[in-house]
């Protein structure tokens, strides 16, 4: 493990856990020790876990799978919202709506209501309403906006869920598990890694710590996803292009068309002259 990486993680406070009396024994293997009644997370394990999770998220992203990031904790909202939006995935940053995954059919109807209200507002339909009716519509729109603004394009349940602080977002993990959706989380020393596909043990109470993790995961989600709908004929086309490119590289040129033998040309000229004389 490079010392510079560990120093960077230390500087960004990833090592600070919760109070020693506020922990889960299931996280014992991730704890280095205790200082002044505060658990210290083993950063060597954290660094290894970051690489594991990055590899798994990258595979999901490159195969066109959708990930739902959940970070309603104030310290995590901005970093995770930026990570998800820049990588083309969904996120929840204001509040977790109960049943967002397990009752998705009903949620889709609520999203449709939200999108219609938003369309009416932009189209000027609210202008013809009374002040009381308009205020009521605006209140409902604001409420729906906070709940569904960043999942309104989610046509089906996601393929994976990634949360910041598995205890704080316990309901999201519970719903994911009930539907057998892959669940990942950043866990503090009070977390539970047994309900997850994989986790990153780190400080979940610091903006610097979460910013560091978000930046680390950005590389895994920056590539262009493979398009599973690409027709099989594209492979043949690519092979043809490659063959043409190889020809260009090797300097080979297409052989010019063969010219008619000189004797044949002379015979044709003689026949024309004979015809003209006749």
Task: With beta carbons less than 8 A apart as the criterion, state whether 203 and 16 touch.
Answer: yes
User: What gap in Å lies between CA 47 and CA 178, rounded to an integer?
Assistant: 29
Distance CA(99)–CA(172), nearest Å, equals: 9
Q: Are 70 and 97 in contact (CB under 8 A)?
A: no
CA distance 17 to 32: 10
pLDDT above 70 as % of the chain: 80
DSSP letters, the chain, are --HHHHHHHHHTTTTEEEETTS--GGGGGGEEEEETTEEEE-HHHHHHHHHHHHHHHHHHHHTT--EEEE--STTTHHHHHHHHHHHT-EEE-S-PPTTTTTTHHHHHHHHHHHHHHHHHHHHTGGGGS-HHHHHHHHHHHHHHHHHHTTTTT--S--SEEEEE-TTTTHHHHHHHHHTT-EEEEEE-TT--GGGSSEEEE--SS-HHHHHHHHHHHHGGG-SPPP-TT--THHHHHHHHHHHHHHHHHHT--PPPPPPPPHHHHHHHHHHHHHHHH-
Percent of the chain exceeding pLDDT 90 equals 73
- Mean pLDDT computed over 117-134: 90
The pLDDT, as a whole number, for residue 244 is 38
Of the pLDDT bands very low, low, confident and very high (cuts 50, 70, 90), residue 108 is very high
Give the dihedral sign, CA 47/52/57/58.
Answer: positive
Say how far apart CA 43 and CA 30 lie, in whole Å. 8
* Sequence-distant (≥ 6) Cβ neighbours of residue 276 within 8 angstroms: none
- pTM for this prediction: 0.78
Average pLDDT over residues 14-35: 96
Q: Do 157 and 104 meet the contact criterion of CB atoms below 8 Å apart? A: yes
Q: What is the pLDDT of residue 225?
A: 65
How many Å separate Cα 266 from the centre of its chain? Answer: 73
The pLDDT score that the predictor gives to residue 227 is: 53
Query: Is it true that domain 1-94+161-250 has CATH number 3.40.50.10490?
Result: yes
- pLDDT for position 184: 98
> What average pLDDT does range 229-233 have in this prediction?
38
Pair 117, 140: CB distance under 8 Å: yes
- Segment 56-82, tens digit of pLDDT: 999 999 999 999 999 999 999 999 999
> Which residue has better confidence, 236 or 100?
100
Which class in CATH covers the domain with range 102-156?
A: mainly alpha
pLDDT band at 265 (very low <50, low <70, confident <90, very high): very low
Determine which of 151-155, 195-199, 234-238 has the lowest per-residue pLDDT on average: 234-238
**Residues forming a β-bridge with 33:** 40
pLDDT at 234 over 70: no
Phi, psi of 53 (to 5 degrees): -65, -40
How high is the pLDDT of residue 142?
A: 93
**pLDDT score of 203:** 97
Which of 6-20, 98-112, 122-136 shows the lowest mean pLDDT across its residues? 122-136
Q: Between residues 276 and 219, which one has the greater pLDDT? A: 219
From-to residues of CATH 3.40.50.10490 in the chain:
1-94+161-250
Confidence of residue 148 (pLDDT cuts 50, 70, 90): very high
Q: Which of 61, 44, 234 is nearest to 160 (CA)?
A: 61
Q: What are phi and psi of 2, to 5 degrees?
A: -70, 135
Q: In the chain, which residues fall in CATH 1.10.287?
A: 102-156
| pLDDT value of residue 2 | 76
């Amino acid at each position: 493990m490079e010392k510079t990486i560990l120093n960077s993680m230390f500087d960004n406070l990833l090592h600070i856990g919760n109070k020693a009396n506020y922990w889960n024994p299931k996280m014992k293997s991730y704890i280095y020790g205790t200082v002044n009644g505060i658990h210290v997370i083993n950063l060597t394990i954290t660094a290894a876990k970051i690489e594991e999770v990055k590899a798994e998220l990258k595979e999901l992203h490159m195969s066109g799978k959708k990930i739902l990031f959940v970070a309603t904790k104030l310290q995590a909202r901005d970093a995770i919202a930026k990570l998800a939006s820049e990588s083309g995935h969904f996120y929840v940053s204001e509040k977790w709506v109960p049943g967002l995954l397990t009752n998705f059919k009903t949620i889709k109807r609520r999203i449709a209501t939200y999108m219609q209200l938003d369309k009416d507002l932009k189209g000027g339909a609210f202008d013809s309403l009374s002040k009381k009716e308009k205020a009521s519509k605006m209140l409902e729109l604001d409420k729906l906006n906070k709940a569904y603004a960043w999942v309104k394009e989610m046509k089906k349940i996601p393929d994976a869920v990634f949360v910041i602080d598995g205890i704080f977002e316990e309901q999201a993990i519970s719903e994911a598990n009930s539907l057998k959706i892959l669940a990942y989380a950043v866990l503090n020393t009070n977390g539970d890694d047994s309900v997850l596909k994989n986790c990153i043990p780190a400080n979940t109470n610091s903006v610097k710590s979460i910013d560091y993790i978000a930046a680390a995961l950005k590389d895994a989600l920056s590539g262009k996803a493979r398009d599973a709908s690409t027709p099989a004929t594209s492979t043949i086309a690519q092979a043809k292009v490659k063959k043409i490119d190889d020809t260009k590289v090797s300097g080979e040129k297409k052989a010019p068309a063969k010219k008619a033998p000189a004797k044949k040309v002379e015979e044709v000229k003689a026949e024309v002259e004979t015809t003209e004389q006749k």
